[in-house]
Amino acid sequence: MTDNGTARVVLRLDGITKRFGKLVANDAISLSLHEGEVIALLGENGAGKTTLMNILFGQYTADEGTVEVFGRTLPPGNPRAALDAGVGMVHQHFTLADNMTVLENVTLGTQSLLALSQRRAGAREKLARLSADFGLQVHLDAKVGSLTVGERQRVEILKALYRDARILILDEPTAVLTPQETEDLFATLRKAVRLGLSVVFISHKLHEVMAISDRVLILRHGKLVAERPIAEVDKEKLAALMVGAEVSAPRVEPGTPGAVLMQLDDVTTPDRGNAPGLKSMSLALRAGQITGLAGVSGNGQGALADLIGGLVSPETGRMELDGAQPTGWSPRVAVQSGIARIPEDRHRTGTIAAFDLTENAILETYAQPPYSRSGWMNWARAESFTRQIIDTYDVRCPGPGTRIGLLSGGNMQKLILGRVLEAAPRIILANQPVRGLDIGAVNYVHGQLLAARDRGAAVLLISEDLDEIMALSDVIHVISEGRLSPGFPRGRMTPAELGVWMAGQGFEPHEAEQEDSAHAP
Amino acid sequence: MRLEPIARPTIWRSTLPPAIAIGATVVIASLLAMAAGGNPFSVLGLIIKGAFGSKFALLETLNRATPLIFTGLAVAVAFRARLWNIGAEAQLYAGALMTVVLGTGLLPWSGFALLPVLVIAAMLAGALVLLVPALLKVRFGVDEVVTTLLFNFIFLLFVSMLLEGPLKDPMGMGWPKSERLIAEARLPRIVDGLRLHWGFGLALIAAGVIWVIERRTTLGYEMRAVGLNREAAGFAGIPVNRVLVKTALLSGGLAALAGFSEVAGLKGNLTLDLSPGFGYTGIIVAMLALLNPLAVVAAALFVAGIFVGADSMSRAVGVPSYLADIMLATALLLMVVAILLTRFRVVRE
């Protein structure tokens, strides 16, 4: 549907500018979306994609510029206006009530929950028609809490369609999906386009942008820097446009595996709220090898990270470090045993935002000499250590006395890397180490992990990004419902084959398996 | 409306809102003084004069500030680690109680041996009073705001019971008060003939010590880390619960020193009106000082000055001294808003 000359413009943003203090989040951005078109909004974290969509949805008021839907200008700052005009948004984080059924969730806000059963029947009919038209299979009477992530996303899309949305905006919709679920989503989007809907697809995954969109718009530092028909670009060109320079990912040579440094035998850990714990998991981490852990988010990755990071002890089973079971397993013991921990959430668990770089750099080692002797801190030593990290790891900052909360995510992550790698760790737990980083920082972090591996460290790389896992790992395991797949050597599996495991199939029969078959439509 | 954090506050951003808060407090107090039939300029002038205008007034203010420095420090230390100790009042009475139990002749030591023992014993008593809520918090997740607050009332009744019973002064004409401390248990005056006692000196030392603890010691680093981000602290291996318990012991001990200093420095015995809410006012002091231990001294002087000055003003022109309470409450509320505005900007949506 690239025939823009004839198709009607359904959405037009004109000169949108939004400033937050000195930061210009959106700088005079203009774009238009045609009927039956899919445009991709591509950009690094912080490029201004989300701000732009928040303006469209009246959550922010633009400092300058107008939003026009179907030829009518939306009043600024009114969240209902966009909805009423026929724009539907599927957020990255779902906005569904777990304890209600699909039907209730979809109709929530459009009619009273006590509405007459006749009107409910009407809603049911409409939804049945929509789900057939768009290929969105969901059981309308299932509680949302019992649905998989992919199914929940379908409910979100249904919700938008039910409110007669003609324009769908999807914010990073594939972040939580398996490759197969992503394919299903794309199939739905293609159907939607054929039925005359228009789609804005926000992402930073290049191959998905290539696969689904007709036109791609690239945002960088709040500016619209390029707008290309998809036929005229390829992944390399997009990456270059995104960061404004040619990028080179580190070359990955296969590692040479050595001795087993950490061994899990039949380990089980308690469930964590909605997320499963580990279910009799066995895993060996070898020196000189990157072990990749693939999986859909919330399938036990957190439990494994907590176990290795010292926050949780095995409920049953054995955990061995260098052939011996550690005693009094705790974060401090983990650090002292030579485990480097790069936490999943660098803002909430990795650093203390109001502390300066020095105070953050010694967060794990403050209690031992030279930083602490008989209860007194030696801040001079802590500061020289921090300067060393700043130099070695190229942390861009005004100085060691800067509050770390002021640093960009990439620089924050470099400080964390320095903090843990300077101790010459033997085991590295890298949990989503590049999430939210720009490509330059991603390459840097990956380079550091590879270098550590080549020095003989055992690296466990946990990521929801299958590309990252496949590029770096010498061995790949898939985690699903707290269970671990066998290890697949580098290059053995295709993304689709891993996707089957990620969807929870292939494991030995288990209660989860039976649930799956019971759910099948 | 929404609050947006400010990455790099300008100098105006960080000084103007607090200054406006103080100014607005003065304006509101003036309006009330007018409503009560006073001339606002003379009322404010009399408050300042009554607090700092003469040697007598100044010494009175310093004396009044002494317990507030202790309770202010107690609250500041606890709040720094996000341990919400609302029970400084009970810990104060625990310190006072221990002082009269040991200081009325039970330990008949002469010379300066007794005072250090009383200091330590009082601190232990206060620490013990806060230890229970702290343990309940780290073991069972019981909200310490509720336990420490309610414990104030329980403990005051307990003191009342003792003063009506075993600790009652047999020569007290039936009043619920303890016996007087022996001479060796009294804090001497800093200068002979002036009413200022060494409790004030002890308070200044305590503020300095707490400042050093927070900046220079491992415990201080742990306390700040736990207060700023408990999750990150725990992840990094800081023993969060142990730090909270240590903080509780320190905080309770500081509050108890307020009780010790009032009994040993000023009153000489224990009565139920020993504290007109020093424990609660300590919260105001700590908040005004932004939890900084050195600023606690200044904030305590400010608060004490308003109270002392308002008393004296009230005697002179007949405007009720409740004006002091209103001024403090206003100053606190406005300051909380002002502090918010130094770090966040209000955005209309």
Q: How confident is the model at residue A202 (pLDDT cuts 50, 70, 90)?
A: confident
The pTM score is 0.78
Say whether both A104 and A203 belong to one domain.
yes
Smallest Cα–Cα separation from A46: which of A17, A63, A25, A61? A25
Say whether both A227 and A326 belong to one domain.
no
Q: CB distance A21–B6 less than 8 Å?
A: yes
Say whether both A99 and A203 belong to one domain.
yes
Examine residue B110 and state whether it is found in any structural domain, yes or no: yes
Examine residue A405 and state whether it is found in any structural domain, yes or no: no
Contact of B185 with B109, CB cutoff 8 Å:
no
Which chain B positions have a beta carbon within 8 Å of A376's beta carbon?
Answer: 216-218
CB atoms within 10 A of CB B228: 17
Say whether both A192 and A118 belong to one domain.
yes
Examine residue A282 and state whether it is found in any structural domain, yes or no: yes
Nearest to A376 among B216, B234, B239 (CB): B216
d(CA B272, CA B279): 14
Q: How confident is the model at residue B7 (pLDDT cuts 50, 70, 90)?
A: low
Examine residue B1 and state whether it is found in any structural domain, yes or no: no
What tens digit of pLDDT does each residue of B50-68 get? 999 888 899 999 999 999 9
CATH number, domain of A489, equals: 3.40.50.300
Say whether both A149 and A264 belong to one domain.
no
| pLDDT at residue number A146 | 79
| pLDDT at residue number B261 | 96
Mean per-residue pLDDT of chain A? 85
Residue A5 reports pLDDT greater than 80: no
d(CA B46, CA B64): 18
Residue A377 reports pLDDT greater than 70: yes
**Single residue among A243, A274, A307 that ends a domain in this structure:** A243
Q: CB distance B237–A377 less than 8 Å?
A: no
d(CA A283, CA B337): 53
| pLDDT at residue number A113 | 54
Q: CB distance A20–B4 less than 8 Å?
A: yes
Say whether both A171 and A283 belong to one domain.
no
**Single residue among A215, A243, A271 that ends a domain in this structure:** A243
SS3 A419: helix
| pLDDT at residue number A111 | 61
Mean pLDDT value across residues A175-189: 83
Ranked by mean pLDDT, the top range of A205-219, A248-262, B79-93 is B79-93
- Quickly tell me which residue has 């038209």 as its tokens: A133
Q: CB distance A351–B232 less than 8 Å?
A: yes
DSSP B185: G
CB of A364 less than 8 A from some CB of B: yes
Domain count, chain A: 2
Mean pLDDT value across residues B69-86: 96
Length of chain A, in residues: 521
What tens digit of pLDDT does each residue of B168-179 get? 888 877 788 888
Testing the interface with B: which of A23, A349, A351 to mutate, by most B Cβ within 10 A?
A349
CB of B219 less than 8 A from some CB of A: yes
Contact of A434 with A444, CB cutoff 8 Å:
no
Which chain B positions have a beta carbon within 8 Å of A342's beta carbon?
Answer: none
Radius of gyration of chain A (CA): 25
Contact of A247 with A444, CB cutoff 8 Å:
no
Contact of A314 with A399, CB cutoff 8 Å:
no
Say whether both A70 and A126 belong to one domain.
yes
Mean per-residue pLDDT of chain B? 90
Say whether both A228 and A266 belong to one domain.
no
CB atoms within 10 A of CB B349: 12
Residue A250 reports pLDDT greater than 80: no
Q: How many CB pairs under 8 A join A and B?
A: 78
Mean pLDDT value across residues A20-47: 83
What H or E segment, with its residue span, contains residue A227?
A: strand A223-229
Q: CB distance A355–B235 less than 8 Å?
A: no
Supply the angle between the helices B55-80 and B40-52 in degrees, to the nearest 10.
Answer: 90
SS3 A282: strand
**Single residue among A243, A271, A292 that ends a domain in this structure:** A243
Say whether both A213 and A149 belong to one domain.
yes
CB of A368 less than 8 A from some CB of B: no
Domain that includes residue B123, residue range: 69-290
One-letter amino acid of B320 = P
- Chain B residue with Cα closest to A61: B349
What tens digit of pLDDT does each residue of B272-302 get? 999 999 999 999 999 888 899 999 999 999 9
Q: CB distance B216–A352 less than 8 Å?
A: no
Q: CB distance A376–B232 less than 8 Å?
A: no
Say whether both A167 and A194 belong to one domain.
yes
SS3 B259: helix
Examine residue B260 and state whether it is found in any structural domain, yes or no: yes
- Chain A residue with Cα closest to B9: A21
SS3 A224: strand
Q: How confident is the model at residue A235 (pLDDT cuts 50, 70, 90)?
A: confident
What tens digit of pLDDT does each residue of A278-292 get? 999 999 999 999 999
Provide φ and ψ at B26, rounded to 5°: -65, -45
Mean pLDDT value across residues A396-412: 85
From B209's Cα to the closest Cα of chain A, the distance in A is 13
Smallest Cα–Cα separation from A351: which of B218, B6, B235, B222? B235
Examine residue B341 and state whether it is found in any structural domain, yes or no: no
Q: CB distance B232–A363 less than 8 Å?
A: yes
Supply the angle between the helices B218-228 and B198-216 in degrees, to the nearest 10.
Answer: 70
Examine residue B57 and state whether it is found in any structural domain, yes or no: no
SS3 B199: helix
| pLDDT at residue number A357 | 94
| pLDDT at residue number A512 | 44
A458 vs B171 pLDDT, higher one: A458
Residue A3 reports pLDDT greater than 50: no
Q: CB distance A354–B228 less than 8 Å?
A: yes
**Worst-scoring range by mean pLDDT, A136-150, A211-225, A329-343?**
A136-150
Residue B315 reports pLDDT greater than 70: yes
Q: How confident is the model at residue A2 (pLDDT cuts 50, 70, 90)?
A: very low
- Chain A residue with Cα closest to B229: A352
SS3 A340: strand
Nearest to B349 among A77, A335, A355 (CB): A77
d(CA B154, CA B258): 19
Examine residue A363 and state whether it is found in any structural domain, yes or no: no
Distance (Å) of CA A519 to CA A10, A139, A146, A161, A179 = 38, 9, 10, 24, 20
Complex ipTM: 0.85
Supply the angle between the helices B40-52 and B293-317 in degrees, to the nearest 10.
Answer: 120
Ranked by mean pLDDT, the top range of A230-239, A255-264, B91-100 is B91-100
- Chain B residue with Cα closest to A349: B232
Distance (Å) of CA B172 to CA A27, B160, B180, B344 = 80, 15, 10, 57
Say whether both A200 and A327 belong to one domain.
no
Domain that includes residue A149, residue range: 9-243
Q: CB distance A350–B216 less than 8 Å?
A: no
| pLDDT at residue number A172 | 81
Mean pLDDT value across residues A296-319: 90
DSSP string, A210-225: HHH-SEEEEEETTEEE
Testing the interface with B: which of A51, A352, A358, A407 to mutate, by most B Cβ within 10 A?
A352
Nearest to B217 among A309, A334, A377 (CB): A377
What tens digit of pLDDT does each residue of B214-259 get? 999 999 999 999 999 999 999 999 999 999 999 999 999 999 999 9
Examine residue B224 and state whether it is found in any structural domain, yes or no: yes
- Chain A residue with Cα closest to B216: A377
- Chain B residue with Cα closest to A78: B349
CB of B221 less than 8 A from some CB of A: yes
**Worst-scoring range by mean pLDDT, A233-237, A258-262, A469-473?**
A233-237
d(CA A373, CA B107): 38
Q: How confident is the model at residue B348 (pLDDT cuts 50, 70, 90)?
A: low
CB of A326 less than 8 A from some CB of B: no
Residue A519 reports pLDDT greater than 80: no
Domain count, chain B: 1
Peptide bond before residue A370 is cis, with ω within 30 degrees of 0: yes
Ranked by mean pLDDT, the top range of A19-28, A321-330, B124-133 is B124-133
Say whether both A36 and A77 belong to one domain.
yes
Supply the angle between the helices B322-343 and B293-317 in degrees, to the nearest 10.
Answer: 150
CA B313, distance to chain mean position in Å, is 24
Nearest to A348 among B4, B216, B232 (CB): B232
| pLDDT at residue number A199 | 93
Residue A515 reports pLDDT greater than 50: no
| pLDDT at residue number B66 | 96
Mean pLDDT value across residues B20-43: 88
Examine residue A365 and state whether it is found in any structural domain, yes or no: no
Q: How confident is the model at residue A246 (pLDDT cuts 50, 70, 90)?
A: low
Residue A276 reports pLDDT greater than 80: yes
Examine residue B346 and state whether it is found in any structural domain, yes or no: no
Token pair recorded at residue A242: 């995104």
